[in-house]
Amino acid sequence: MVAFGIVLVVALLLVILLFNRQEYSKTPQFIHCNRPCQRRLYQALWKAGYYPEVGFKVGQYEIDIAFPYRKVAIECTWNHQDYTDILYYRSKKKKQLLREQGWKVVSFSPNEIHRNPKECIWKIEQLFRAAQPNYGPKKQK
């Protein structure tokens, strides 16, 4: 009788785990963020109801935060004092390649992200609206 109870409990747990898989697929990807500013922006987007992808690959390049279905790329750049010529050249080349493939690219410095993440989200929403004229709440008559 005890063995039957244990089997029943194990079977019930398996059913719960199998049917809740969709919930696990929506878990935040901020653990994949490489830098604190990237993590902060991702979490701000998540709280605002946006679910971007982290580390989305386009060719040989990896986008920091991406909305692939809208072709919007968000790059967390470096502060000006940390920018070397090599970093600047790679970043410029990456943005050029993404734009050639139809992506809209927006860049934010760590200072911008940490000071006002809501303003960064507002700028991202502006890109969404530019891509889709009917984006946003509908006006009531």
Q: How confident is the model at residue 130 (pLDDT cuts 50, 70, 90)?
A: confident
- The CATH superfamily holding the domain 28-131 is VSR Endonuclease (3.40.960.10)
Structural domain spans, the chain? 28-131
pTM of the model: 0.69
Mean pLDDT throughout 3-16? 72
Quick: pLDDT tens for 62-111. Answer: 999 999 988 999 998 876 666 677 777 888 899 999 999 999 999 998 99
| Spatial contact of 111 and 127, defined as CB atoms under 8 Å apart | no
Listed in sequence order, the DSSP H helices in the chain are: 2-19, 21-25, 36-47, 85-100, 110-115, 117-131
**Residues in contact with 52: Cβ distance below 8 Å, sequence separation at least 6, in sequence order:** 42, 45, 65, 66, 67, 74
Tell me what pLDDT residue 13 has: 66
Please, which pLDDT band fits residue 129 given cuts at 50, 70 and 90?
confident
Give the rounded distance of the alpha carbon of 37 from its chain centre: 12
Provide the residue count of the chain. 141
Answer for the pair 101, 63: CB distance below 8 angstroms, yes or no: no
For the segment 6-34, the average pLDDT, to the nearest whole number, is 63
**Residue entry with tokens 């987007």:** 45
Q: Starting at the edge strand that comes first in sequence, how are the strands of the sheet with 61-67 ordered?
A: 53-58, 61-67, 72-76, 104-108
